[in-house]
Amino acid sequence: MRLAPRIIADQDLRFGKPVIEGARVPLDLVLGKLAGGMTYEEVMREYAIEREDILAVLDYASKHLAAEEERATA
């Protein structure tokens, strides 16, 4: 199932977690590596993905977070 450009989910791949199409790299892995300080270039080299894949991951994550209903309360 296509979730977004370059992003798919398939029950037979990584237990249905969203992955980069063609690379089978989970989105949470890419986000974690970037959050941990790896550069785009390091992530691209390590997981054989393209810059456009990373940008698709970031776009998907930002839209997913924007849709969350969780809010801080006093």
Backbone angles phi, psi at 17, to 5 degrees: -70, 150
Q: What is the per-residue pLDDT for 73?
A: 73
- Go through 33-54 and write b for each residue having 16 or more CB atoms within 10 A of its CB, e for each that does not: bbeeeeebeebbeebebeeebb
Q: What is the per-residue pLDDT for 3?
A: 95
Topology classification of domain 2-66: Arc Repressor Mutant, subunit A (1.10.10)
**Within a 10 A sphere around the Cβ of 60, how many other Cβ atoms?**
19
Q: What is the per-residue pLDDT for 39?
A: 98
Note the pLDDT tens digit of each residue in 10-67. Answer: 999 888 999 999 999 999 999 999 999 999 999 999 999 999 999 999 999 999 988 8
Indicate the pLDDT class of residue 70, thresholds 50, 70 and 90. low
